[in-house]
Amino acid sequence: MSVAMSAATASAAVPEAQACVIGTPTAASNTWDFKGEANAIFEDVQAEAGQAQDHAYTLRSLANDPGVSWQMHADQLLDLKGEINDIGSKLCRLEAIRRVVDPWQQRMIDQIVATTRLMADNEQDAIVFGDAHRLEMWLPTYQAYLNNLCHEATSLTHSVDKAVKFAGVSKEYQKLRGGLEAKGSS
């Protein structure tokens, strides 16, 4: 158990430590729809953020039950770590295309990066604390980590939900605008 948790501890902050290699531009780079790609990644992050939120709230409810073992907490923390790492892997691409997307998408990328790093830090701290205090999951320190995770996961979920909705409305607007322009030229 300690070995598994130690391995989890070592890799919990993946979003920050992850090496993101940016390739050189190619001829196709000039015609690639980076804004559309960012919107598609936002949809992926939306799903991951929702799952992270579920794990965070499950963890918080487990902490209120003194009969729950540390292993159950550890399993949920590892699942949450997986969601955070999945979001982190998507951040690599978002950060690579950040300079060529719309300003609202840049702000969303910055927000996702900041919130995901906070989640990774709190998840890491919860693992370290739980590993050292397996029978004291009710202590305020652990509860604070879980509350932070719930808050951050909820914030990320709501923000990305709004971004996905805005992207859909923007796409529909462009489609309608194109239709009106086509009618106006005929």
For the chain, the domains span 2-12+34-185
Check residue 181 and give its pLDDT. 73
Q: What three-state secondary structure class fits 146?
A: helix
46 — pLDDT class (breaks 50, 70, 90): very high
Which pLDDT score is estimated for 106? 96
pLDDT value at residue 176: 79
Q: Is residue 11 over pLDDT 60?
A: no
- Predicted TM-score (pTM) of the model is 0.79
Stretch among 23-37, 38-52, 71-85 having the lowest mean pLDDT: 23-37
Residue 12 scores a pLDDT above 80: no
> Where residue 101 falls among pLDDT bands split at 50, 70, 90?
very high
- Tell me the three state secondary structure of residue 137: coil
pLDDT in tens, 14-26: 444 445 655 555 5
Q: Which fold has domain 2-12+34-185?
A: Four Helix Bundle (Hemerythrin (Met), subunit A) (1.20.120)
Distance CA 106, CA 102 (A): 6
Going by the DSSP 8-state scheme, the letter that residue 101 receives in this structure is: S
CA distance 172 to 73: 43
